[in-house]
């Protein structure tokens, strides 16, 4: 069995038409513990989505569903979590944040969480 990776979905949404919604569902289905932060509160399965920067420990992966303009307010928060990696999903690519993360030894990936999950690369 693959290692379960506690994941923060930043840009989480309870809208079934959003990719972050699908990511929340599929991460849970794969058994990964999930934390959701979005623009408004909501619920997807067992995951409560909050607007607040929650204190979270043992975050392995931050997967981004926020465009770069909205990421800046989260830089310090993301880096303070000391994740193993940050996944920049399509449309979230951000050289500034990626550079800051790499300086702290955090792996950065330009990838799609949904594809990674479906191909057992997560």
CATH of the domain at 112: 3.40.50.720
CA–CA dist 32, 9 (Å, integer): 12
Buried b or exposed e, range 85-109, using 16+ CB within 10 angstroms: bbbbbeebebeebbebbeeeebebb
Structural domain tally of the chain? 1
| Backbone conformation region of residue 47, classed left if phi is above 0, alpha if psi is from -120 to 50, else beta | beta
Asked whether residue 56 is domain-assigned, the answer is yes
Asked whether residue 122 is domain-assigned, the answer is no
Asked whether residue 17 is domain-assigned, the answer is yes
Model's pTM, two decimal places?
0.95
pLDDT in tens, the chain (122 residues): 468 999 999 999 999 999 999 999 999 999 999 999 999 999 999 999 999 999 888 999 999 999 999 999 999 999 999 999 999 999 999 999 999 999 999 999 999 999 999 999 99
pLDDT tens column, 83-115:
999 999 999 999 999 999 999 999 999 999 999
- Structural domain boundaries, residue 28: 7-93+104-116
Asked whether residue 84 is domain-assigned, the answer is yes
Asked whether residue 1 is domain-assigned, the answer is no
């Amino acid at each position: 069995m693959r290692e379960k990776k506690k994941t923060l979905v930043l840009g989480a949404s309870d809208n079934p038409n959003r990719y972050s919604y699908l990511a929340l569902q599929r991460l849970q289905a794969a058994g990964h513990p999930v934390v959701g932060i979005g623009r408004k509160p909501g619920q997807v399965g067992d995951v409560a989505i909050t607007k607040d920067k929650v204190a979270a420990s043992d975050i392995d992966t931050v997967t981004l569903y926020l465009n770069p303009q909205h990421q800046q307010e989260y830089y310090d928060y993301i880096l303070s979590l000391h994740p193993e990696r940050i996944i920049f999903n399509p449309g979230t690519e951000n050289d500034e944040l990626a550079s800051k993360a790499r300086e702290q030894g955090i792996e950065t990936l330009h990838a799609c969480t949904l594809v990674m999950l479906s191909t057992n690369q997560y």
